[in-house]
């Protein structure tokens, strides 16, 4: 176990922080009301203007029939309107259900039906995709005082009010549905305490101040974009530049023009930046204001890390988390960058432990299943008490079902428990093979899965490969490449080239879709 007096550290982080997300507004108006809070192409809100927009939106939602304990589904891309809607919904003690406008109509309907939404809102002016969903659902387009047009459904008469907690910090401040890479998506209930703890700890690690300027490109319908990027910036009094759709050239221009200080992205985003730089013949980028770049949301490949560091002339930090933990579990520190793929030390104020199949602790440097405990762990899965009990034990430990090892206080993520392949009596971790394949200059990304086979030592390894455009690559090339770098029991039996890899919005490969392809 590695805790570093986690309970004491967590208490220090939470000390003097607001109990509820809406309480941040008092801090804004007292310290930096005129300072720019949110910037997007259509305009800028100062902290005072953001607070006013929240108040007006709260009055509108209250008059529209939103009650404490109602679920309010917000379908959006990153924009100022979403921020006001989210804060206003929490102020009414309703439960915001945050949904990316980029998901399919069938996925959206499943979420709406499962959460039992009292009301559905769509940020139609800021998102063409949200407009499509609004039209499909017969939403009325309402002109609001602060937010422009918002798509608004009829009130559901069947919606049941959820009881509120006695402690305000424990009420649900955001419900985020998992990406659904395995089975049906589950509604992760994150409390005010979960999100404020995560925002404060993340801001502290990166030493955020009101002078910092961040790019909000990670989707705020996911936990990193919501707690770390959005709430962390607002808690620190900084300025957030909202981006609804990532475009490499525009991103590089914004970094220079707006003197951005912190850039948080995912591996897919950095791959696109690298490809753009190569296409433009750019070998070096120097942004004098930029002090931290970091990747999270999906495994980081060694080639992406090294090439990004060469291009930007600074370390690319790494992090790891899951939605159920608000989401960060570990991250590398700006003062101690790493030259490997460690995701860094555990997040301040949380405990972790690595256990074997019997639940017993494993020694340092050995692989075990990762468990987490702390103020970042979710309340549970909505309307899924059995799944919640399976995920969180009686002592409050959450099972990530990820495999990891701990070396000198730093975590290395090895893979998913369910992805573990036993071959010829050896444990094989697909992430290790993927890291080697992704280092091949012709490979954009790879995904390795196990398939039952009587003639393959128990299981067959199948590697799916997305190659770079205009580059020749054959399975035989990959067979020769990997044979020189890994033990034979780790060699994939088959290499399947695919034009595009199925990805979640955060850049993770959806392996279930690849399995169905077989």
**Last-in-domain residue among 417, 435, 453:** 417
**Last-in-domain residue among 417, 436, 470:** 417
Count up the domains in the chain and report the number: 3
Query: 124: pLDDT confidence band, cut at 50, 70 and 90?
Result: very high
Answer whether 273's CB lies under 8 Å from 243's CB.
no
The pTM of the full predicted model, rounded to 2 decimals, is 0.85
**pLDDT of 61 higher than 60:** yes
Same domain flag for 234 and 337? yes
Tell me the C-alpha distance between 150 and 136, whole Å. Answer: 14
Average model confidence (pLDDT) for the chain? 92
Same domain flag for 389 and 457? no
Among 47-51, 182-186, 308-312, which stretch is predicted with the lowest mean pLDDT?
Answer: 182-186
Query: 458: pLDDT confidence band, cut at 50, 70 and 90?
Result: low
Same domain flag for 204 and 334? yes
Among 69-78, 107-116, 285-294, which stretch is predicted with the lowest mean pLDDT?
Answer: 107-116
In the chain, what is the greatest distance between 2 CA atoms, to the nearest angstrom?
70
Burial letters 472-490, b for 16+ CB under 10 A, else e:
ebeeeebeebbeeebeeeb
pLDDT tens, position by position, 293-326: 999 987 888 889 999 999 999 999 999 999 999 9
| pLDDT of the residue at 158 | 95
**pLDDT of 184 higher than 70:** no
**pLDDT of 418 higher than 90:** no
Q: What is the CATH number of the domain that holds 319?
A: 3.40.50.12780
User: What DSSP character marks residue 165?
Assistant: P
pLDDT tens, position by position, 467-508: 998 899 999 999 999 988 887 878 999 999 999 999 876 677
SS3 357: coil
Same domain flag for 362 and 227? yes
| pLDDT of the residue at 180 | 44
**pLDDT of 345 higher than 80:** yes
Same domain flag for 372 and 265? yes
Same domain flag for 78 and 213? no
pLDDT tens, position by position, 12-40: 988 889 999 999 999 898 888 999 999 99
pLDDT tens, position by position, 150-178: 999 999 999 999 999 999 999 999 999 98
Answer whether 448's CB lies under 8 Å from 480's CB.
no
Same domain flag for 496 and 375? no
**Last-in-domain residue among 170, 186, 211:** 170
Domain of 308?
194-417
Residue 44, both tokens: 């800028």
Answer whether 317's CB lies under 8 Å from 293's CB.
yes
Q: What is the CATH number of the domain that holds 509?
A: 3.30.300.30
In sequence order, the 6+-apart residues with CB closer than 8 A to the CB of 345 are: 330, 331, 332, 333, 409, 410, 411
**pLDDT of 214 higher than 90:** yes
pLDDT tens, position by position, 383-414: 999 999 999 999 999 999 999 999 999 999 98
Query: What's the whole-number mean pLDDT along residues 249-268?
Result: 95
């Amino acid at each position: 176990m590695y805790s570093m007096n986690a309970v004491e550290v967590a208490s220090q982080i939470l000390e003097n922080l607001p109990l509820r997300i809406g309480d941040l507004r008092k801090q804004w108006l007292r310290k930096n009301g005129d300072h720019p809070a949110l910037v997007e192409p259509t305009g800028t809100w100062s902290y005072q203007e953001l607070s006013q927009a929240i108040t007006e939106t709260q009055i509108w939602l209250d008059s529209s029939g939103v009650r404490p304990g109602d679920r309010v589904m917000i379908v959006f891309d990153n924009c100022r309107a979403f921020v006001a809607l989210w804060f206003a919904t929490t102020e009414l003690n309703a439960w915001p259900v945050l949904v990316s406008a980029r998901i399919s109509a069938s996925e959206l309907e499943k979420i709406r039906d499962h959460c039992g939404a009292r009301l559905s809102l769509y940020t139609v002016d800021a998102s063409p995709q949200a407009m499509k969903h609004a039209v499909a659902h017969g939403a009325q387009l309402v002109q609001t005082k602060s937010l422009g047009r918002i798509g608004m459904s009829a009130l559901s008469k069947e919606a049941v009010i959820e009881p509120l907690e006695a402690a305000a910090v424990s009420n649900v401040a955001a419900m985020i549905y998992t990406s659904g890479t395995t089975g049906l998506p589950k509604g992760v209930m994150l409390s005010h305490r979960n999100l404020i703890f995560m925002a404060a700890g993340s801001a502290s690690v990166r030493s955020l101040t009101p002078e910092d300027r961040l790019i909000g490109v990670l989707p705020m319908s996911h936990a990193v974009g919501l707690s770390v990027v959005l709430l962390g910036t607002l808690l620190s009094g900084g300025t957030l530049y909202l981006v609804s759709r990532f475009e490499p050239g525009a991103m590089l221009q914004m970094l220079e023009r707006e003197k951005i200080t912190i850039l948080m992205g995912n591996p897919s985003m950095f791959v696109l930046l690298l490809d753009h730089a190569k296409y433009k013949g750019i070998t070096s980028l120097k942004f004098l204001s930029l002090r931290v770049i970091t990747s999270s949301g999906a495994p980081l490949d060694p080639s992406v890390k090294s090439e990004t560091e060469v291009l930007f002339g600074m370390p690319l930090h790494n992090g790891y988390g899951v939605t159920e933990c608000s989401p960060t579990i570990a991250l590398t520190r700006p003062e101690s960058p790493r030259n490997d793929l460690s995701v860094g030390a555990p997040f301040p104020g949380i405990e972790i432990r690595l256990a074997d199949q019997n639940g017993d602790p494993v020694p340092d440097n050995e692989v075990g299943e990762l468990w987490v405990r702390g103020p970042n762990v979710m309340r549970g899965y909505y309307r899924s008490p059995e799944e919640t009990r399976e995920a969180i034990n009686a002592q409050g430990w959450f099972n990530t079902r990820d495999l990891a090892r701990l070396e000198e206080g730093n975590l290395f993520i090895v893979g998913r428990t369910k992805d573990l392949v036993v071959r010829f009596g050896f444990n094989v971790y697909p992430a290790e093979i993927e890291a080697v394949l992704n280092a091949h200059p012709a490979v954009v990304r790879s995904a390795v899965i196990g398939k039952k086979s009587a003639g393959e030592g128990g299981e067959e390894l199948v590697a799916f490969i997305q190659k770079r455009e205009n580059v020749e690559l054959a399975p035989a090339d990959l067979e020769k490449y990997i044979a020189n770098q890994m033990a034979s029991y780790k060699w994939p039996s088959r290499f399947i080239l695919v034009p595009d890899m199925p990805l979640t919005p955060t850049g993770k490969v959806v392996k279930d879709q690849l399995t169905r392809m077989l």
